[in-house]
Structure 1
Amino acid sequence: MGSKWRKAKLALGLNTCLYVPQTAEESSSPSPNRVVASRHSDAVSSSSLLSPTGVVSERRPTTPTPSSSGLKTGTKSSKRTCAICLTTMKPGHGHAIFTAECSHSFHFHCITSNVKHGNQICPVCRAKWKEVPFQNPASDLSRGIPRINPVNWPQDDAWMTVLRQIPPPRVDVSRPITSLFHTPESAIFDDDESLDNHPDISMNKASVEDQTSNNNCIGIIEVKTYPEVPAVKRSSSHDNFSVLIHLKAPLTSARQNGSRIPVSQNSRASVDLVTILDVSGSMAGTKLALLKRAMGFVVQNLGPSDRLSVIAFSSTARRLFPLRRMTDTGRRQALQAVNSLVSNGGTNIAEALRKGTKVLVDRNSKNAVCSIILLSDGQDTYTVSSPGGIHPRTDYQSLLPISIRRNNAAGLHIPVHTFGFGADHDAALMHSISEVSGGTFSFIEAENVIQDAFAQCIGGLLSVVVQELNVTIECVHQSLQLGSIKAGSYKTSMMTDARMGSIDVGDLYAEEERDFLVTMNIPVDESSNVMSLVKVRCLYRDPITKEMVNLNEAGEVTIKRPEVVGQLLVSMEVDRQRNRLHAAETMAEARVAAEDGDLAGAVSLLESCRRVLSETPSAQAGDRLCVALSAELKEMQERMGNRRAYEETGRAYVLSGLSSHSWQRATARGDSTDSTSLLQSYQTPSMVDMVTRSQTILLGNPSPRRTLSSVKSFPAKARPH
């Protein structure tokens, strides 16, 4: 009888997209009617499923109930009323119905709204639930199609598949995380897992040697130069003449071979990654569930030679485990640790950063690449007394340990990529931390973007092909001197005679591009028909071979010096980059005005910049970067429309834009789920691949990609006044 009942349930499930949990009979239990389900995370399960036709079908509770002798049917619910909205519940009328383990039923959208802040009490009988419904924030509510996040569907989520396969955590997950924070901890974090004598790593090293011998190792940087105009009249001078230096990092060895291999295979530099996660009280409920899911994705996409350590913080900070290789065992232990997190307490970002830095500073062995990811949804309540302000580097200098500040005497380069989650985080603090360390700041406005934002970040970190890149610009003509080097946040230097300058670029991801503008004054020159301006040289380290690569003749810029010059067109490449720099400078000025309380002045600056951009040659030619910059400036104007809008989202949106433009690196921006992006200027192919993988896992099957924005605008939202 039990097997027949199981077959019937399966048949019904196939036709109506019902989730059929494992029965007790299949678990060697004598009872054929009892439904058995496991809850492995407080990323709580849902009660509905999106069918192929876009209709949400009803799903029964997965926990055993004392009053049930089998699966409930939906017929009784048709005559009931929802205790929350007091309207009739009718299956098949576009509303999913949730039946709790206490047997009370509600509209699914009503109960998810009721419990989204962590409430696990039945509104009718006050019984405490072990499982509560949770609506996936990837819902496309604008089209009326909710998508549900089902924790107990292994086929829909690789992160939860792993959790179903691993044994229960060794730690006592019933114990609050704060109690774990007060257990004794080592004074020195030199217990990182060794990188030596590991079969997977040895095999990977051998494969790298084979690739090198076959000339399939990572290639060299591509360097292109563009003068502002191709010719200057002999008898004339030209002040502030611009030369564009364009760099493009090489492909990974996998892409060079014409194939795409998983990032977990060591065809690239291995990574030491420390994630610092906010588990304060404000992270309770949906936020913590989504954070666990995002961390699960990170764990699953690190390779066996990559190492991960997790720091959890609230009122204090705790290292959950040391730097550990992400082998099968390492992944299992990492997932157990992440899954054990619960939220409460305050927000002590300073202590968390000190502890995360200590993990990397104290380690015995080092992978080629190292980085810190910091996520928080609140403001530091222990170190910073007055959040915000127009001078964040000064206000927040004490938060970042000296050892990882950019250009520190110790020579360490540990960028901190920060993620401000929601409307209540301290965007100025998070931006300052990233800026001082050489990382990026991402603003996660929509909760469903957190996993994609992490995916974009690690897509870059797992594809580093250039390290310690230094670009040198040297004047060739004896009468020439450099005027300026415009390189955003990258450190620049110039000799006292202005004959030579340099840019400290650092790491580049595979196929990542950089554009730098150099200005100079072109003197009168009656002696020749061609004038050599500058030479460009590049010096960098290959992270796989560890060898230094010296490109002595990377590029030389020349212009013609005829007696007569006709009408010349300005280089589109140079004009495009001028527009980008002008827009970034205007954003910074508007931010200062907004912090001073002059929102009208800030909006006026942005509008003026848009007008100027529209009159440039590249904009009039329909250049996509110019179109995207104009749209981004317009979005900032709207987010500065009033003080409340600016405080809630405007400041963070502007700062994430400044971070992106100053480093020329992709960041997550605001509600980054719009699929009509005009341009992803700074996203690399590796980032795109990883974000696509994230979205495929999240939704269970391939779908049109939601884009993470680097330089773009989003549809205007209704703003509070």
Structure 2
Amino acid sequence: MASRWSKAKVALGLNLCVYVPRSHDDASPSVDVAARFSDVSLASAATGNSHSRPAMPTTPTPSSSGLRLAKTGSRSSKRTCAICLGSMKPGNGHALFTAECSHTFHFHCIASNVKHGNQICPVCRAKWKEIPFQGPSSSDLNHGRARINPVDWAQDDNFMTVLRRLPPPRVDTNRQIASSLFPTSEPSSFSDDEPLDPQPQKPEKSSPAMEVDTSRTRTVEIKMYPEFSAVPRSASHENFAVLIHLKAPFTAPRQNSSATQSNVAVARQTSRAPVDLVTVLDVSGSMAGTKLALLKRAMGFVIQNLGPSDRLSVIAFSSTARRLFHLRRMSDSGRQQALQAVNSLTSSGGTNIAEGLRKGAKVMEDRREKNPVCSIILLSDGQDTYTVSGSGAASIRPDYQSLLPSSIRGGAGCQIPVHAFGFGMDHDAASMHSISETSGGTFSFIEAEGVIQDAFAQCIGGLLSVVVQELHVAVESVHPRAPISLIKAGNYTSCISSDGRTGSIDVGDLYADEERDFLVSINVPASNAGEAGTTLVKVGCAYRDPVSKERVNLDGQDVRIQRPEVVSERSVSIEVDRQRNRLQAAEAMAEARAAAERGDLATAVTILERRRRALSESAAARAGDQLCAALNAELKEMQERMATRRVYEASGRAYVLSGLSSHSWQRATARGDSMEGTSLMQVYQTPSMADMLARSQTLGPGGLPHPPPVRPARSFPAQPQPR
């Protein structure tokens, strides 16, 4: 009858190298046993047919990768284990492990060492290809794991010694990227940006498929509209409004029927200024799951739509911030690495928005070379948990204007706009709005998860179509007794000289086909007898073409009104009236928001309702103006989102702030749970924005159909319709 140790040899024989001490009740010959059994031999042993076992191989030599039991007299009694410094005296019942580097240790010592991830010899530091591992413990057998023991043998971890060959390392793409292309340690300076493309890609000249549409103007278009075309000669008029309307050029390639999609894409790339873009992405714990997956998809869309002359860098922040890769061109290899970096993102930790912005600004500040257009995209779904300190400061909003780098604030001479995207119901809309306002960017409210890609698409549709930079508008009073009293320019910097003779507006960048409207107030004096008309102001502008890098100066245009003795019918200009309605609606939004922040929601709703009534009675609204209709719908939506305190905190504040940002900069922003074709979205949306948005809604990354957005249930009651 075979002993229990013999059964143990059989049980552990399959694909294992086992060394077991000789016991007194073992009937086998007095030699060390090392066996490697097949499945057949194991099955036969389990059925008791032990005589059918194949012949055992000889015992490995000490230099082989094996473990052997110390024999009496085979080693010096003075030998000690390098791990526990205990004696490895032969015959005391301790199993020993001899590694491929010929160093020997107690098996239980080296097995514990390997268990914690150490696969290097403690003595010579050689890297092992085979490591010992501990067999199943007696506690495992006592908790329902006895099925791995096909025979009835006693378990003793001090004597059970097993050797396992290390499997080949599995290629983990994300880990490989993080450790090689995107190391966790960062340089002190981010001056490692990839050089600009020395030879931008050009469309094929031989192909007649693509032609430049020269039917549109190549310069900024200026139009002037006085509030009234005629003022009685003997009458004076204070705060007489003059509308300055600017429209950026739009030089899009005209596509013939034989044009290919690649030719169209190349022509678009060469007809615009390349971009340096830094995306600062929130990967805190609250972004786990669907949010992070949709963010990766949205970033994939952005990467695929950047051209080889555009450069991108990605900053990921949670409790800290990390640059995933340096600012590099989106060539084929650049796109691939950028996509890999984004796909490697995981979510954990808190939300440190300020640190993410500091690192994003540093990428811009340390650049050795600069593309003509630069911008930062910031997305966050939570409150900044690191900027606010102190137990009683939870209700105090951080002063981001003092925390942001000087380059973002424009203190370094070149302001870097931050286009902020507040995601979900828990983000800090006030702080995100403050960041965008301080930097000259826009604030968008992404209420539904499925709208992230569309919101990004609209934003980059504008950034990838900049045709005007450093636009400066000059206003000069021509009449000596008609000083400039006021310039309404929203968030754009404007100034008036002390004598009212001159004024200016700094507009900055314009996207292709983008429009700007500014109201200038002038005090019109009474006219002299016999004077048929009065010239009020002259307006001109200067800007830089980002593609040719040339300065363009446009001569001023005069605004002149008629001065008859009697004006039989005075009709206000629809163009002036509609812009006055826009400005007054924005003022009402700001006033209502201030009341809501004080907790007086009833007053906030009243302010908005009063503005809606005045809007409906305006000349532009009665004429069916589309902007007035969109403003009315927007004001109504804000009233609904101020129905209760809970609704306002959840979505009302963010909705109002995104509206204020849009009107202040006269630029399209994402608002609410949809981006699909509402009149409100089309107010400031340019053709390039609309085209990129349509592309996002049609196809996602990799040419896959874009799934419909997941819209949350409205958390506010619908207002009853008036009868």
TM-score, length of structure 2 as denominator length:
0.70
Q: How much does 1:266 deviate?
A: 2.2
1:603 to 605, 611, 614: 605
- 1:404, distance to aligned residue in structure 2 (A): 1.8
Instruction: Kindly indicate whether residue 546 of structure 2 is the aligned counterpart of residue 547 of structure 1.
Output: no
| Structure 2 residue 381 is matched with structure 1 residue 382 | no
After superposition, the C-alpha distances for 1:54-100 in whole angstroms (9 at most, x for unaligned) are xxxxxxxxxxxxxxxxxxxxxxxxxxxxxxxxxxxxxxxxxxxxxxx
Cα separation, 1, equivalents of 2:350 and 2:704: 38
Superimposed CA distance per residue, residues 666-708 of structure 1 (whole angstroms, 9 cap, x where no aligned partner)? 0000112455546611000000000000011149788999999
Q: How does 1:336-351 map to 2 (within 5 A)?
A: 336-351=340-355
Residue 148 of structure 2: aligned partner:
none
The CA distance in 1 between the partners of 2:372 and 2:300, in whole Å, is 23
Aligned partners of 2:448 and 2:710 also within 8 Å: no
Question: Matches of 1:503 and 1:613 in 2, distance apart?
Answer: 27
- Conserved? CA contact 2:197–2:309, under 8 Å: no
Work out which of the residue numbers 306, 322, 328 in structure 2 matches 1:324.
328
Where does 1:605-620 land on structure 2 (aligned, <5 Å)?
A: 605-620=607-622
SS at match of 2:253: helix
Q: Is residue 416–residue 439 contact of structure 2 (8 Å, CA) maintained in 1?
A: yes
Deviation at 1:399, TM superposition (A): 3.2
1:195 is aligned to 2:189: no
Give the corresponding residue for 2:234. 235
When residues 611 and 698 of structure 1 are mapped into structure 2, their CA distance, relative to the original with a 3 A threshold, is same
Structure 1: runs of 5+ lacking an equivalent: 1-166, 709-713
Which is worse superposed, 479-488 or 254-263? 254-263
Query: Among residues 532, 535, 558, which one is paired with 1:532 in the alignment?
Result: 535
Equivalent of 1:635 in 614, 637, 641? 637
Question: Would the alpha carbon gap of residues 531 and 720 (structure 1) be closer, same or farther in structure 2, given more than 3 Å must change?
Answer: closer
Deviation at 1:716?
6.5
Q: 2:318 aligns with which of 311, 314, 317?
A: 314
- The Cα of 1:436 is off from its aligned counterpart by 0.3
What do residues 106-138 of structure 1 show as CA deviations (whole Å, max 9, x unaligned)?
xxxxxxxxxxxxxxxxxxxxxxxxxxxxxxxxx
The 5 A counterparts of 1:246-265 are: 246-254=245-253, 261-262=264-265, 265=269
Aligned equivalent of 2:306: 302
Contact 1:467 1:507 in 2 (8 A): yes
CA distance in 2, matches of 1:458, 1:674: 17
Q: CA deviation at 1:623?
A: 1.1
Asked if the contact 2:213/2:252 (under 8 Å) is kept, the reply is no
Give the conservation status (yes or no) of the 8 Å contact 1:416–1:434.
Answer: yes
Do the aligned partners of 2:596 and 2:604 also contact (CA within 8 Å) in 1?
yes
Cα deviation for residue 267 of structure 1 reads: 1.5
Cα gap change, 1:641/1:214 in structure 2, threshold over 3 Å: closer, same or farther?
Answer: closer
1:342–1:218 distance in 2 versus 1, CA, 3 Å: farther
Residue of structure 2 equivalent to 1:669: 671
Query: Could you tell me which of 341, 359, 362 is aligned with 2:366?
Result: 362
Aligned twin of 1:284: 288
Q: Equivalents in 2 of 1:214, 1:455: separation in Å? A: 24
**What is the CA–CA distance in structure 2 between the aligned matches of 1:205 and 1:194, rounded to whole Å?**
25
Deviation of the 1:397 alpha carbon = 1.7
Residue of structure 2 in register with 1:587 after alignment: 589
CA gap of 1:503–1:367, structure 2 versus 1, over 3 A, is same
Report the TM-score, using the length of structure 1 for normalisation. 0.70
Counterparts in 2 of 1:267 and 1:633: CA distance versus 1, 3 Å: same
- SS in structure 1 opposite 2:479? coil
| Distance in 1 of aligned mates of 2:542 and 2:255 | 22
State the match for 1:487 in structure 2. 489
User: What is the CA-CA distance between 1:252 and the residue it aligns to?
Assistant: 2.6
Amino acid at match of 2:291: K
Mapping of residues 626-705 of structure 1, within 5 Å:
626-677=628-679, 680-698=682-700
CA change 1:707–1:436 in 2 (3 A) is farther
Task: Give the corresponding residue for 2:580.
Answer: 578
The counterpart of 1:267, out of the listed 264, 267, 271, is 271
User: Aligned partners of 1:715, 1:526: CA distance in 2, in Å?
Assistant: 65
- Report the CA distance shift for 1:484/1:707 in structure 2 as closer, same or farther (over 3 A): farther
Q: Percent identity?
A: 66
Matched residue SS, 1:588:
helix
How many residue pairs match? The answer is 537
Where does residue 377 of structure 2 map in the other structure?
373
Secondary structure at 1:265 match in 2: helix
Residue of 611, 625, 628 corresponding to 2:627: 625
User: What pairs up with 1:6-155 in 2 under 5 angstroms?
Assistant: none
**Contact 1:387/1:428 (CA < 8 Å) preserved in 2?**
no
The structure whose Rg is larger is 2
1:496: Cα distance to partner? 1.0
Q: Counterparts of 1:704 and 1:331 in 2: how far apart (Å)? A: 23
Distance 1:171 1:676, change over 3 A: closer
Q: What residue identity is the alignment partner of 2:640?
A: E
CA distance in 2, matches of 1:362, 1:399: 19
* Aligned with residue 424 of structure 1, among 423, 426, 432: 426
> Relative to 1, partners in 2 of residues 1:610 and 1:487: Cα closer, same or farther, differing over 3 Å?
same
Distance 1:463 1:196, change over 3 A: closer
SS in 2 for 1:172: helix
Distance 1:206 1:310, change over 3 A: farther
